[in-house]
Amino acid sequence: MISPRTLRNLKKELSHSVLAKAGIVVVVFMVAMAIFAPLVAPYSPGQQNLDQAREPPLGFTTKETKEVTKTENGSVVIENGQVVTENQTVYNNATLAHPLGTDGNGRDILSRVIYGARTSMLVGLLGTALAALIGVTVGLSAGYYRGRVDDALMRTADIMLAFPSLILAVALVGVWGQAAFRIPDPFVATGFTEWWRGLVGLSAGPMPGDIVLPGTVIVVVALVNWVWFARVSRGEALSVREEEYVKAAKALGANDSRVLGRHVLPNAITPILVLATVQVAAIILLESALSFLGLSGASVSWGFDIALGRQYQSTSWWISAIPGIAIVLTVIGLNLVGDWLRDALDPGIDGEGGV
């Protein structure tokens, strides 16, 4: 399906562009992190340690004034029958145990970011795949057959576009609730995790046994975003169907399914591919927004952690900042890959979507 010329263009563009290389590195890194989370995360993302709460990331020290019980010679001072308190300056030092610091409950932020990548990637990839499946099927048929099918699609798309995607997603989550499926994590279930963590000397603490698949959210983001795929593939089908090779195929006696499958789809696939890359980014942003609003049903998610950090925003900025940086890096990476594909293949598409 991908001709040697396409591959050559991709390689050529890649060799020219530092940004494209950076994008690929970031995306591959994030995907690897998501897949191998139980093998590389220092701790379980849910493991709390209130003694080590709000530890800053490496390189930072925070100073805060705390009200503590006054002690003298190791015993609590009591005056007038009450425990005396005093204001004391407490220094929170970064420790190597938590390179990215800890959150309000003393959970390791690095571990949460690694596990958060799973949620983002699952929703991003599955949501995009579902949206593409719906959108491309509908769009190609509409563009190819035109007429009433096309009319109906375009009107539906107009109505869909009148709802801001975030608001529609919120409403749909409201309708369906926040169903999430739990799938056993293969690394943990096979015991590989334990063996591996022992081998490389990571803390053995029990890692979560399930991968949480936020089912509603995946369906919702797909329902909200399929319109972009439909628009692009419709446009492609409209232009490809006018190509003489499509007419020639019909003249040779090819039926519609052959023309659609052998000629229209392969020639429409490039811009759809570019759109898909950009859509993964858009859907990751949408998922994080839903999580931020507490609607996604996932307990470990970048957006959710940003929201959790807000109650400590006056003292512990990193709790919100670090998951956000993870989002930005991922989305930049995907956008760079999208730009690379677009420049190399030059399909000329519009419509990006986003939060």
Among 320, 340, 345, 347, binds other proteins (CB under 8 A): 320
Q: Contacts with other proteins in 32-91 (CB under 8 A)? A: none
Residue (44 or 330) nearer to other proteins, CB: 330
Residue (272 or 281) nearer to other proteins, CB: 281
Nearest distance in Å: CB 334, other proteins: 8
Among 32, 245, 256, 311, binds other proteins (CB under 8 A): 245
Residue (217 or 285) nearer to other proteins, CB: 285
Nearest CA-CA partner of 178 in 279, 290, 269? 290
Residue (53 or 153) nearer to other proteins, CB: 153
Nearest distance in Å: CB 145, other proteins: 12
**Options 126-134, 181-189, 203-211, 318-326: segment touching other proteins (CB under 8 A):** 318-326
With binding defined as CB under 8 A, does residue 260 bind other proteins?
A: no
HEC profile for the chain?
Answer: CCCHHHHHHHHHHHHHCHHHHHHHHHHHHHHHHHHCHHHHCCCCCCCCCHHHCCCCCCCCEEEEEEEEECEECCEECEECCEECEEEEEEEEECCCCCCCCECCCCCEHHHHHHHHHHHHHHHHHHHHHHHHHHHHHHHHHHHHHCHHHHHHHHHHHHHHHHCCHHHHHHHHHHHHCCCCEEEECHHHHCCHHHHHHHHHCCCCCCCCCEEEECHHHHHHHHHHHHHHHHHHHHHHHHHHCCCHHHHHHHHCCCCHHHHHHHHHHHHHHHHHHHHHHHHHHHHHHHHHHHHHCCCCCCCCCHHHHHHHHHHHCCCCCHHHHHHHHHHHHHHHHHHHHHHHHHHHHCCCCCCCCCC
With binding defined as CB under 8 A, does residue 165 bind other proteins?
A: yes
With binding defined as CB under 8 A, does residue 147 bind other proteins?
A: yes
With binding defined as CB under 8 A, does residue 8 bind other proteins?
A: no
With binding defined as CB under 8 A, does residue 331 bind other proteins?
A: yes
Nearest CA-CA partner of 221 in 324, 323, 291? 291
With binding defined as CB under 8 A, does residue 310 bind other proteins?
A: yes
**Options 48-56, 92-100, 193-201, 258-266: segment touching other proteins (CB under 8 A):** 258-266
Q: Contacts with other proteins in 285-304 (CB under 8 A)? A: 285, 288-289, 292-293, 303
Among 309, 340, 344, 345, binds other proteins (CB under 8 A): 309
Distance CA 20, CA 120 (A): 21
Residue (46 or 354) nearer to other proteins, CB: 354
Query: Which tokens in the block code for residue 32?
Result: 């690897």
**Options 27-35, 118-126, 153-161, 214-222: segment touching other proteins (CB under 8 A):** 153-161
Residue (86 or 158) nearer to other proteins, CB: 158
Query: Which tokens in the block code for residue 283?
Result: 């859907």
Residue (40 or 332) nearer to other proteins, CB: 332
Maximum alpha-carbon separation in the chain: 102
Please list the residues that pair with 78 across neighbouring strands: 83
Among 84, 88, 262, 311, binds other proteins (CB under 8 A): 262
Residue (58 or 171) nearer to other proteins, CB: 171
Beta-carbon contacts of residue 11 (< 8 Å; ≥ 6 apart): none
Residue (43 or 228) nearer to other proteins, CB: 228
With binding defined as CB under 8 A, does residue 3 bind other proteins?
A: yes
Nearest distance in Å: CB 333, other proteins: 9
With binding defined as CB under 8 A, does residue 21 bind other proteins?
A: no
Q: Contacts with other proteins in 263-282 (CB under 8 A)? A: 263, 266-267, 281
